[in-house]
Amino acid sequence: MKLFCRDQLPLALFWLAQMLLVPLLYWVSGENRPFSIVLYGMSLSLIVLLLYLVFRYTQHRKLYARLSRPEVQPGNHLGPMGDAPLPEAVDELLQLIDREYQEQLNSHVQRLDQHIVFMNRWVHQMKTPISVIQLTVQELDDEAASSIQEELERLRRGLELVIYTSRLDRFEDDFYVQPLGLRKLVSQAVSENRRLFIRRGIQVDIGVDEDLSIYSDAKWLMFMLTQILTNAVNYTAGSGKKVTVSARRSGEATILDIADQGIGILPEDLRRVFNPYFTGERGRQYHESTGMGLYLVREICARLGHRVELESTPGEGTTLRLIFKI
């Protein structure tokens, strides 16, 4: 109603100016018409104006209502705004814009799907030669073979990072939540990265009870644990240090702590470590840092309904906390 009144304000002012001109014209021409006659004519004109405004508002009520509340809910397509020429023209224009937008959106979705398919195929093609090289290198027993093995593991982790990043946009189509034994999952993640721990001389202490279970997706959770453990080892300088994995019940949640004795994170970087591509001051000291590991951990946690927290003290270490609701 407010928008209608603002829209018709120029017409009302124009009508008022006309009504003031009528007695002025009588006064200039010298015709001494009674004021009651003049007032009667103005009243009739006002009634006609009001009838016009009521008719106009009735015709365009839906249009003014939509324009007064322009918010668009997801999946709420535009509907008819009235049968008058103006609402029909506005509706036709909006439908045209909506079709153009939908075509562009479908085109982007198709290109994204093709890109994801290409990345998945490319990663799988790369995995085969990597596996062959790994099997070949395992039969060798010299320092060069160890270096090649290290580079192959780094390449494998990079490929996993690529494929999980590309799948994140289709997360809803690729997850399965089920009860999982937390200790078994942590042990499996540590076992898959045991060469990294051995090579860096880092010990692992797993303090997770056998009876602790959570509801989550095994594949995505294993990827998160790998990213967290890799970070814990990469940012822990010097052998003989320890990465501690512990879990406990707290109210209606299960809390998993992964603590390292690494270089820690500077206070000014703590707020940004979950941002994509952010490496921070510490990350620039290590060429392996991509700035994507913690970002993916936070995104996956959000999609699985978990929570992630991080505490760190420079020079003493970092504790990353995963919180699973029961």
Per-residue pLDDT of the chain (326 residues; tens, 9 = 90+): 888 888 888 888 998 898 888 888 877 877 777 778 878 888 888 999 899 899 888 888 888 887 887 766 655 566 667 777 888 888 888 888 888 999 999 999 899 888 888 888 888 888 888 888 888 887 777 777 878 888 888 888 888 888 888 888 778 878 888 999 999 999 999 998 888 888 888 899 999 999 899 999 999 999 999 999 988 988 887 778 899 999 999 888 999 999 999 888 888 888 888 988 887 766 666 656 777 889 999 999 999 999 999 999 988 899 999 999 87
Reported pTM: 0.67
CA angle 120, 125, 126 (to 5 degrees): 100
CA 44 to chain centre: 61
Task: Report helix, strand or coil for 207.
Answer: strand
Percent of the chain at pLDDT exceeding 90 = 29
Asked whether the beta carbons of 93 and 28 are under 8 A apart, the reply is no
CA angle 27, 29, 31 (to 5 degrees): 70
Task: Report helix, strand or coil for 255.
Answer: strand
Which pLDDT score is estimated for 109?
A: 87
Q: What is the pLDDT of residues 85-114, one digit of tens each?
A: 888 888 888 888 888 999 999 999 899 888
What one-character DSSP code corresponds to residue 291?
Answer: S
**Extended strands (E) in 139-224:** 178-181, 203-207, 213-216
Which pLDDT score is estimated for 253?
A: 92
Asked whether the beta carbons of 196 and 154 are under 8 A apart, the reply is no
Other C-beta atoms closer than 10 Å to the C-beta of 97 total 11
Which pLDDT score is estimated for 113?
A: 83
What are 324's strand-pairing partners?
254
Q: Which two tokens stand for residue 13?
A: 């002012």
Which pLDDT score is estimated for 226?
A: 92
Which pLDDT score is estimated for 15?
A: 87
DSSP state letters, 93-116: HHHHHHHHHHHHHHHHHHHHHHHH
